[in-house]
Structure 1
Amino acid sequence: MLKHNYYGNYTAESFAELPLVLQRFLSYTQYNTTSDPNSTTAPSTEAQVAYAQLLKAEFESVGLTDVKVTDKGIVMAYLPATAGLEDAPAMGLIAHMDTSPEASGEPAKWQVVDYKGGDIVLNAEKNIVLTMDRFPGVAKYAGEKLVVTDGTTLLGADDKAGIAIIVETARYFVEHPEVPHAKLCFAITPDEEVGRGTENFDIPAFGAQYAYTFDGDELGGFETETFNAAMVKVHFEGLNTHPGSAKNKMVNAIRMAMDFISRLPAESIPEKTEGHEGFFHPMGITGAVRGVDLKMLIRDHNNFRFEERMNYVRKMVEEMNKVWGNRVTADIKVQYHNLKNYLDKHPAVCELAREAYRRIGVEINEKPVRGGTDGARLSARGLPTPNLFTGGMNYHGIFECLSVTGIERALELGIMLGKMSAEVKTLD
């Protein structure tokens, strides 16, 4: 197991008494693996290159002997099928090693709290409080143990909880050779948070016929539907002159960007949407009077509305250029399509997961992902890959937390899916 250099509100002795899956996760939070959206390398950071080697050692430490790290930083590990099941479809379990660049990924100062309900003071000195008015979903975990941070970093449950679940699933089957299973394939990818998690993923080399990502959220979550997603990069070309003599000369790119944003539907933003509702999301802006660059996300579950949203932006640019004199350009690139488009063609893979939830007694909460997963891209390339819960919540920020019960039940789910792989004769 990776080294422990922080024990939170535990001693080394009491830490060792925690469930192994939780120990692994907490140790993983001590490694900064934030991905870099501006990098052109694969992986995007050297920290992920080093972490991949550490994860290779993790798989080997639980008894896997066929483990490798690709030249693009993807960890792949294998457990051969039980004798007589060599022809059964191989199953894959996948997680990602990077954390979101939207909050600090420095080693988390975590604490395991016996949550009694109400607000959680994360950092009294800095007055950082996880409040129920902003995060009401946490309230239902009253009476349980939660892992939180001190409010200065994210926790890393997205998706280091998934890694811990997968490593412990592998350990279970190594230590229980009497339990039959098909070939089990495990993978940990870099750069999922910057949309590049599977761009170098070799599906034939991975060897699975179907797979599941452990990259979901709360207990019971099962995700077979994602957004359709596009990235928009808009450039506003200004013309700068001295403001004292700017009349009829200056073209202020900042005002152009403001004009663009003002034309977007006011209610179609992340802060005001939920469920299947899509949105436009300006997420980054740089520049000055002479030129401004804006990055914006387009998201919608519905295929038709997704196309409409992209066309809406194109029409906006046309209209603005009539006003501003052809100084606005937009580059729209589709990032991924709805996972449902592909999983509808592989109903057996989803039904296997639903049956696994039933067998371990976890109520399924099947809902659309208001985001994306590596599984969406893998499914588009022929490897059907739904998404499973890990027990985390409030991702991509300092109020991220993890239900201890959630991660333990997720491990049960991974083990059950491994057991059920022995029953799968065909995916048709």
Structure 2
Amino acid sequence: MSLKGPLQGKIRFACSYLASGVALFVLSATFFLCKPFFHSTLIIPQHGFIGGTMYYIRNLIQLLIKTKPVQLLVPEHEKEQYSEAYSKQVAGIRSFKDEFDHPEVYFDKAHSLYKYYRLRIVQQRVCILRHAIATRSNRLLVSATHPGRFSFAFLFPGRMSYILHTLPWIDLDIGNKNTIASGLSKPGKSIIAVSAYLKGEIIRYWGLSSLESKIHVIRNFYEPLNKVHPQRKEVIGILTLGNLIPDKNPKLWIDMARELSKKHRNIAVEWVWAGQGPMYEELKSLCANEENIHFAGWVDDVDKLYAGSAIYLQPSMAESAGIGIIGAMAHGIPAVVSDKGGTTESVEHGITGYLCNPGERDRYISYIEKLILNPEIRERLGSKARERFEKMFTKSLWEERISGLLNQCL
């Protein structure tokens, strides 16, 4: 006689929970017995083949492989892309099933479905332990651009640092909040924020005020390539780098470019936005007939773009930090950027550039126009920007800070 209905479901659930529990016990014992002999680092990257996050992860790997092997753990559907981008740089690339990524749980312990959340937690522990043992890893690093993504990393029984690059915009669900808070409270766990502003937002949205000491600020960096690019004196280049999404305010950017180009027809000004994203084709089409407004797509050698630019512009609705801004500072370029987010930690208003509220279109235009018309101001602000870069945002400073934190978590 076959079992049907609720009883069949209960038996299936019980068998699944039992099998997962046994696997967790065996893998946990194996990990702790073998841990002294494990010396690899496992990295879980997000958007590791796009823009600034790819730049960050590549440099993170370069730093870590000086002392120990590094392997990547990526979602199944992205393994091919990561293999193309990183196979020559890391010791191996493994994948996990997408359903272990970021399950959202909006109910509490009293809810009848809570038991399924508990099963998923056990399954996630099994998943992360299996990969740690297979790669002989005693340390796990996560590089996330979606706040809360890969929260199962906080279940890792060894040392773990969760590097977040993007501002949280909504409260996390109860399940992921619990996973993060519970994991972060344990020894050897930390969160790394790329700006002090981002740290504050993590604490606010994720409810981690009691664990503030385990959230560290290590700012982004930039290292220009050792290439010599001629600077263009005959054209004033205005550069923006970034993903083409609504939050980056690209339509405001186009509006300002058109107005200032029309107003100053006698001055050679070229506007360039380098970066891909879901709005790329739409925006490129909008400016198809504009001779001096360009959407360049993905550009490998951004230093060449910086060398041809006199002003950096980033009118985002908010930024966690902005590697593009730091790159401009490295090249001695004044920046006009949003005053929302971590950009205020990079740009000093009136000293290295100008800060504007994202909604203040006319103020943006006023500052950009001021820099277009006054080369001596561009020179002065750019020089101060370069000085600030040397004090706060060099690669050597970043390496020192992140190595110090990772060694501290030993």
The two structures share one fold, judged by TM-score above 0.5: no
TM-score (ref. length: structure 1):
0.25
The structure carrying a bigger strand percent of its residues is 1
- Greater relative contact order, per chain length (Cα 8 Å cut-off, separation 6+): 1
TM-score (ref. length: structure 2):
0.25
